[in-house]
Structure 1
Amino acid sequence: MPSRPKKLPREFFNRATTLVAQELLGKLLIHTIEGEQRIGRVVEVEAYLGPGDLAAHTARGLTPRTRAMFGPPGHAYVYLVYGMHTCMNVVTEPAGTGTAVLLRAIEPVKNLSDKTRGPGLLCRALGVTLQDYGRDLCSDDFHFAVDPAAEPFNIVERPRVGVDYAGEEWAAKPLRFYIEGNKYVSRK
């Protein structure tokens, strides 16, 4: 990378969730663990729109599990799916809203394996664990940044993956966004 990536400010996350989701595409996610930077380019995300969204974890309201999702923007909501795969969401909009963006896939940039297609593989590659629940994503060792080498791309909008339980209305909403033609997208 020719120049240092510029860290995204908290205000970036304190906006409409679908806008944040689309604008996270192409950004770098930088996680520093024991002095080693692991960097991936965000290529696929899903938006979750709060308690009214029947696919969102916050559809059942504030619980110990969803506390971080109701917290301030720019923090991590990390949880286990199927009791074994770590997934990470980025909290958006003002505190109390219960909205977030699920990270579905990243393109490896530095110190990552090719296995980053899917939320669980992405977290494993970045070293994201349940210990990162509620972490500030505007910190020096865990943050998003503008990629100075970013090239233009088209965004594809599709329904989210695996949310049929939310009913036809919510399952069919085009709230999954990914970079067209990127080989690291989990599902085309």
Structure 2
Amino acid sequence: MDFSPPFDPDLDACALARALIGAALTVRGVGGIVTETEAYAADDPASHSFRGPTPRNRAMFGPAGHAYVYRAYGLHLCLNVVGRRGEAVLIRALRPEWGIAEMRQRRPTGPLCAGPGRLSQALDVRIDDDGRPFDGTDLRLRPAAAPVTGIVCGPRIGISRAVDLPWRFGLAGERGLSRQF
């Protein structure tokens, strides 16, 4: 499986969120380089896992290196990487690299992958991807080829609890972020 160091299943959510910056992510062969992430821990009141397992968040309590996909606001799908039990990292943005023409067919106007909903639409993330492994079959994650420098952090976006935690990570100066730091 491609989910290997630095994607150690024992990394806490913030360490995993940092480790995913610069990683190559593809969904059915289409994807790019992860440029923005957000961490959610089991004891975090903003996390879907905070109150324990439910049918919706079941994947967050499954094996590390699997996807947690959910529908936000009844509209957009969001793609997360599961880490430790009850922890996941939301993929907020990526720099498109592979299958850009396919992404543009799915998102004819506006930014392709700046924001979790846009990213999921461009990559054709599906609700049935929930719980699937990042093993190279449909979903693939590869660590950055070299150490990534210039990672910045700040507060998470679009939540109402634990808003002060600086658990959003991104590449400094990257143009395609969901929101600048």
Q: What's the TM-score bracket when you normalise by the shorter of the two chains? A: 0.7 to 0.9
Higher deviation after alignment, 109-118 or 41-50: 109-118
Q: Distance in 2 between matches of 1:110 and 1:139?
A: 15
Cα pair 2:3 2:134 within 8 Å, conserved = no
| Matched position secondary structure for 2:74 | coil
1:138 to 1:8, Cα distance in 2 relative to 1, 3 A: same
Q: Deviations over 1:28-70 (max 9, x none)?
A: 00222xxxx21210000000011x2000001121111011101
TM-score, length of structure 2 as denominator length: 0.87
2:75 paired residue among 76, 84, 87: 84
1:152 to 1:54, Cα distance in 2 relative to 1, 3 A: closer
Runs of 4+ in 1 over 6 A off after TM superposition: none
Code of the aligned partner of 1:99: E
- Structure number with higher helix proportion: 1
Aligned to 1:175: 167
Q: Deviations over 1:152-181 (max 9, x none)?
A: 4301110100112x1xxx210100000000
1:151 to 1:163, Cα distance in 2 relative to 1, 3 A: same
Q: Distance in 1 between matches of 2:152 and 2:46?
A: 20
Aligned to 1:145: 142
Cα pair 1:10 1:74 within 8 Å, conserved = no
Residue 136 of structure 1 and its aligned partner are, at CA, apart by 0.6
Over the aligned positions, Cα root-mean-square deviation in angstroms equals: 1.9
In the alignment, does 2:116 pair up with 1:119? Answer: yes
1:10 to 1:73, Cα distance in 2 relative to 1, 3 A: farther
Q: Distance in 1 between matches of 2:92 and 2:2?
A: 21
Cα pair 1:106 1:122 within 8 Å, conserved = yes
Q: Distance in 2 between matches of 1:152 and 1:58?
A: 29
Q: Distance in 1 between matches of 2:156 and 2:49?
A: 16
Aligned to 1:109: 97
Identity of aligned residues (%): 40
In the alignment, does 2:158 pair up with 1:162? Answer: yes
Cα pair 1:47 1:176 within 8 Å, conserved = yes
Return 5+ residue gaps in structure 2 as ranges: 105-110
| Matched position secondary structure for 2:49 | helix
